[in-house]
Structure 1
Amino acid sequence: MKPVEEFPRIIERGCGLDVHQGTVVASIKGKDIIERTETFETFTEDLERLVCFLQNEGITHIAMESTGVYWKPVYYVLEEYFQILLCNARHIKNVPGHKTDKKDSEWIAKLLLSGLLKGSFIPREQIRQLRDLHRHRRKLISQRTAEKNRLQNILEDANIKLSSVVSDVFGKTGTAIIYALVAGERTPKKLAGLAKGSLVKRKAELEKALYGRITEHHTFMLQLILSSIEYINGQIALIENQIDKYLIPMRGDVELLQTIPGVSAQIATGILAEIGNEMEHFPSHKALASWAGVCPGNNESAGKKYSSKITHGNKYLKTTLVEAAWAASHSKDCLMAARHKAIAARRGSKKANIAIGHKILTAAYFILRDKTPYMQSSQNKNIAEQRRLKKIERLKKQLRNLKSVSLN
């Protein structure tokens, strides 16, 4: 009696890779080939031997887990020769108690041949490099913010209450005073004389705030932190120049994305760095929102709905969309701002930011797909007007009720 296959075969010949830092375990399966497993090291020369091995066996498709950063060099060597599915590790877990490198690679190969795997989105090389630059820029900005916080802690330790008077310690006035302190100036009146703009009228307050106890240790720490901030600023400037070079062929896309409320040039760059400008990789705007992790999840059992919180998704894109949503919520004559206010009143500002971020990403999808600017439809304007009229009626009703209560 002929044995029954567990799953119908969709791909003729495939390979499952279990990737580690030092080794790659490859299992091949398919039509008219001997199923076997080989182990290769991850040096470039060994990966090229892996390419020859797979080509000699007639392999056309490869599936692999996205294991940390270790999958990247393997993917870059193999992508020229094979069709590769990079899969989320959570989607291809094997049966518990049966975990070895060989069994993992065989399981991945079996799922691949059966057509049960869905590959992750891997942008083209130019977008990958832009993504690296943009993410590194965000990390440098976080490092600079941490250094600025440390500097303010040093000032507080010296009882210099500059932040109590100056709204931006690192504005023109604050920066001039800090550099004067590092240079050895201690007289509050001379330090207050560095005030610029509206702070000129608050020199008396500045003098009082700048009377502290600065030691040699404080001066050393301030100088050290300032040099660190200057270095980070230089690194950010270099990265931004490099980003501008990558954006030259996508300048039109950046301008189109800026037509969306809340989307600045920097946010548009962040969106393009994460999703690229070719929307054919995503079947629909819903698939893109699911990939980004800004749409509700599904969790239902026995007819009962449980938590529908958002999924993990792309944390860098999600952060960028939240920034855009917060900016859009402060825009004037904007339906997104009205929508944000309505959701925030019922469910809080955090959920409102995610909801508006979802709308911004949907708009970005259609703008990049159709290469047309964002336009607030007349239907949306009518909805906004209807909401305004309903609010007026609701407030009038509340006023009438209050009048009736006061008369009684």
Structure 2
Amino acid sequence: MEALIERAAGLDVHQGSVVACVILGAAGRRPTKEVRSFGTMRQDLAALRAWLLEKGVTHVGMEGTGVYWQPVHAALEGAFTLIVGNASHMCNVPGRKTDVKDAEWIADLVRHGLVRASFVPPPEVRVLRELVRHRKALVGTMAAERNRTLKLLESAGIKLAGVMSSVFGVSGMLMLRALAEGTAAPAAMADLAKRRLRHKLDRLTLALDGHLAEHQRFLLSLHIRRLEELGRDLAEVEAAIGAAMRPFAAQQALLLTIPGVDALTAAAIIAEIGVDMAAFGTAQRLAAWAGLCPANHESAGKQKRRGTRKGNPYLKATLVTAAVCGARTKGSYLRDKFQRLRARMGAKKAAVAVAHKILVAAFDMLQRAVAFADLGADYLDRVDKYRTAKRLVRRLDALGYDVMLRAKAAA
């Protein structure tokens, strides 16, 4: 196979060491190899960068495993064409596996152009990505803490979840603190309810009439304190996300025009795909990268049905959530499309299909810098009037009516 790159390097990255192999030589000639090992401290990575520059390396490849590649990528960024490949796509044949062999194999793949580079966003987008993903982790931790709190209340016979729509709202938190103190009567705790919840004072009094043991009150106080800390952390992270989104204010404003997309959803989309759509080429490639299109599985000329392919789980979850919210926007094309697909394939598959449409729209909007143009709830009916009319006539015929269609006279 003909070599495409004359000066290539492969890095086998570990937590405490980096094995680098440099291959030098023009196509058609026997190349020379040189292997060195470096540490992963900042000074070691600076020495790795200086050595690669001394050798005149132009392309550097490494596997994107864990987080160990990230400081190496940051140390080499700007000086070389960096290729972070999928580890499963770069596996060598089994046998005789060493760190030196792995580095040589990666360098050989890079030299022949056989490594498909993974998408690594620019530094400012990477900052936003870390903040958005940390917020997602905090939200998950808060949900788990709330579930533990509800489980504790149920075990003590306190049935607040059956009376209140949100146990952790303003009224609910006041009652939880009173329960943790253990000094107020059920009626007094129910009287802490605010606004419309005061119409349920009798039911709240019955729901609060349980028995919290001493250790359960102790655990409840721990849950309350942890929830308050998570709430403060979440507010600080969201403020940091807002600051990191300032360079992308124009793109965020465009994405906010999509039904179901709010400020945090727009930030999550930009954090995962960036704002330069040239990195993906087409909307179809972006959808495949996100895991929002069916996987291909063909054997012996037969195409077998498969679910969606693996992709970016953070982006996929964000878009599916936006699709569910967009399906609740009255008078929108996304709502009409979701309702039609849900009747045929179920709500979950319909949400994934609508998420695909949102991603394709976001790609076009970011590429062309245009706002979202809603097609309207009647778009699919207008596309094929004959099919829509035939379906409605068939339904009326089943109800026992004779229908004769006549076009309206032009106004």
TM-score of Structure 1 vs Structure 2, range by shorter chain: over 0.9
Task: Name the residue aligned to 2:313.
Answer: 315
Identify which range, 281-290 or 30-39, moves more after superposition.
30-39
1:76 matches 2:84: no
CA contact (8 A) 2:333 2:379 kept: no
Q: Secondary structure at the match of 2:36?
A: strand
Change (3 A) 1:307 1:42: farther
Task: Name the residue aligned to 1:398.
Answer: 398
Among residues 3, 11, 33, which one is paired with 2:5 in the alignment?
Answer: 11
How much is the aligned-residue C-alpha RMSD, in angstroms?
A: 1.8
Matched residues in 1 for 2:332 and 2:12: separation?
50
Q: What are the superposed Cα offsets for residues 83-102 of structure 1, whole Å, 9 maximum, x if unpaired?
A: 10110111111112243222
Matched residues in 2 for 1:191 and 1:395: separation?
56
Task: Name the residue aligned to 1:137.
Answer: 135
Q: What are the superposed Cα offsets for residues 343-395 of structure 1, whole Å, 9 maximum, x if unpaired?
A: 222222221111111110110011111111010348x8442344754542342
> With structure 2 as the length reference, what TM-score do the two structures score?
0.91
1:338 matches 2:336: yes
Matched residues in 1 for 2:374 and 2:202: separation?
50
1:99 matches 2:97: yes
Matched residues in 2 for 1:89 and 1:372: separation?
37
1:7-406 aligned at under 5 Å gives the runs 7-31=1-25, 34-377=32-375, 381-385=378-382, 386=385, 389-400=389-400
Tell me which amino acid in the other structure corresponds to 1:217: H
Identify which range, 213-222 or 141-150, moves more after superposition.
213-222
Task: Name the residue aligned to 1:3.
Answer: none
CA contact (8 A) 1:335 1:384 kept: no
Matched residues in 1 for 2:342 and 2:80: separation?
48
Matched residues in 1 for 2:400 and 2:75: separation?
74
> Sequence identity of aligned pairs in percent?
41
Tell me which amino acid in the other structure corresponds to 2:18: V
Identify which range, 348-357 or 69-78, moves more after superposition.
348-357
Tell me which amino acid in the other structure corresponds to 1:393: V
CA contact (8 A) 1:16 1:27 kept: yes
CA contact (8 A) 2:186 2:205 kept: yes
Change (3 A) 1:262 1:105: same
Tell me which amino acid in the other structure corresponds to 1:383: L
Tell me which amino acid in the other structure corresponds to 2:65: T
Q: What are the superposed Cα offsets for residues 175-215 of structure 1, whole Å, 9 maximum, x if unpaired?
A: 22112222333312111212222222221111111111122
> With structure 1 as the length reference, what TM-score do the two structures score?
0.92
Identify which range, 338-347 or 230-239, moves more after superposition.
338-347
Count of matched residue positions in the alignment of Structure 1 and Structure 2: 394
Tell me which amino acid in the other structure corresponds to 2:75: V
CA contact (8 A) 1:185 1:191 kept: no
CA contact (8 A) 2:332 2:375 kept: no
Matched residues in 1 for 2:158 and 2:354: separation?
41
Q: Secondary structure at the match of 1:37?
A: strand
Q: Secondary structure at the match of 2:11?
A: strand
Q: Secondary structure at the match of 2:141?
A: helix
CA contact (8 A) 1:30 1:113 kept: no
In the TM superposition, what is the alpha-carbon distance from 1:259 to its structure 2 partner? 0.8
Tell me which amino acid in the other structure corresponds to 1:13: R
Matched residues in 2 for 1:189 and 1:273: separation?
49
CA contact (8 A) 2:86 2:118 kept: yes
Tell me which amino acid in the other structure corresponds to 2:61: A
CA contact (8 A) 2:15 2:40 kept: yes
Structure 2 gap segments, 5+ residues each: 402-411
Change (3 A) 1:122 1:331: same
Q: What are the superposed Cα offsets for residues 150-188 of structure 1, whole Å, 9 maximum, x if unpaired?
A: 111111122111111111111222222112222333312
Identify which range, 225-234 or 390-399, moves more after superposition.
390-399
